[in-house]
Structure 1
Amino acid sequence: MKLRLFSLIFLLSQYSFSQSVLKFVNASSGEPMCGFYSNVYKNGNSFATCGGTNDEGFLKINVYDLDSTATYQLSVNNIKYEPIWKEIDLTKNDTLLIPIHENDYYIGGSKNFIAQGCSSYSFANYEPKEVRSLTELPENINKKVAEYLLKRVGTQNFSDFTLIGGQLIELDEFKKRYPRENPKTAYYLCFSYRNLAAGISMYPSKIELGETGEVIKDIGFPKTDEKVELISLSEIRNIALKDGYFKPDTTQIAMTYFSKSNRLVWKFVNNIFYEDYTSLTENIFYDAHNGGFIRKDSNRSQWIY
């Protein structure tokens, strides 16, 4: 038993070289951030490790096969907080203090607002750089994005958009790791449309751009020169309530975009579960510009254990 224990300790000592400790604290109050999640990357584009803090805000970083020739970066990318991208020295055994600043833009979902987050793409052997500001883009791409957005959503809606997330793909590096792939998208940029009067805290939509800034995928927002006027969350909720589609405790509400009609749409989702181990999902759509009923899609399925 002692021999096995010694062998295990020996093996771990061969592969785990980093014992650096981080402490995350709220920048305003100084209180420890319990259960706070962050990632560590190698050379800026490879996943190294991740973890959450304990009750006192501490996180011990353990990176296996630590490469002394590589650089390591700490990444915090949570829309609730200001982003962090910081190079760290994992050969040191000191405690590094990481102040966390709240994001003034963030307003969570509630009875009064919908707040939808941004999705991101995950690749098994490659981690694209994440961005949260247009200033992190190359100057020529920044300019093209602004020009495109201004033309696409109109001058009267332009100021209602904020970049809240994005991924930058190094196409040459990506192709080295995936030789059979031939990706065209170099920039995935997620913009949030905000209209607090209509109960919209964050409605996200992505633009995809090529390496030189050419648009590959349009944003999910009406192409218009006029100010977008919408039926508010409270109004559409009352309409759906009268129609029998809104159940205050269970119905999920979101916003989406119908490209064919060039309209924003309120979406109500109801999940109904039955005793025979089947369920029914109802998706009900209303025109967000005038409150008109569009359609109801129903999908019945069976639970699998």
Structure 2
Amino acid sequence: MNPFITFLQRNHVLARIESAHANKALHLCLEDNDIVDIPPKILDCIQLHTLSLARNKIVEVPLTLNNLKNLHTLTLDYNNINHFPVALKDLKQLKILNISHNAIKDLTKDIGSLTNLETLWCNGCCLDNIPEEIGNLTHLDTFGARNNHIFSLPNRFCELKELRWLTLENNGLTAVPENFGKLQELVHLNLSKNHLQFIPNKISELKKLKYLFLQSNVLFQLDEDVMANLMHIYKINLSNNPITVSSETLQKFTNIVMPGAAYTPRMETNSDSDSSSEDWEDSIDSSEIDMTATDSDEDEDEVFI
């Protein structure tokens, strides 16, 4: 990059940080600034609730970032970070964390320290496992780990009793844990592009589940008894699997999506409107996730920088 442009960009970032500090801003957005090193001056902004550092060139998150004890939302997606930042374990107030699209191989046991997390996105990293300590995140509502190398889930994953949205698309899963049925709040479950050979029986225990995505696995058998226990699910996508299903079966189960199926979208009812809208049905790309919204209990006149 042109040195002069780099100079201007650096000064622009520093000016924004100075302004945030002077105005006691709760929200600071430094996305798309080619930042390599997080400026130390940012540590003066101890009042911050939201810090957005997405789409930069950050390699290392300094340990001193743990000074920002009031952070509720932190976005570090699309950077060059290659390990889970140790500093994050001390950010006990974090509710939303996005580390997607970094070369992070392991969340480490430190993830278990973030017990107030409600949303965790780690799509497109290089994760090859999820630690047992994930079970400490008992307030987690949304977890996305698409496009990784995860081959199994730890047993304690099923302690996420408030989890409603789970997407593990494009990993190497061949099964789910035996106690998967404990995830009673699940509404959206995306297990597409894995290595499942059959629909796990435990899914039938998820009575609030409305959207189930199993396309592009290696399902070779459709058990009608299992399907009969999945009639509460609005949509089950079984496309692109090596199964042959009779036309009679496809006519019987109108919540199946696959070639030849008679899929009929189910009408929303008032009693379950919260979990039947398109917001629950459709997965979105990490680049489209809006992490900059303020907490609902914060004032409308807060300063954004």
Higher helix share: 2
TM-score (norm 2): 0.26
Structure with higher Rg: it is 1
TM-score (norm 1): 0.26
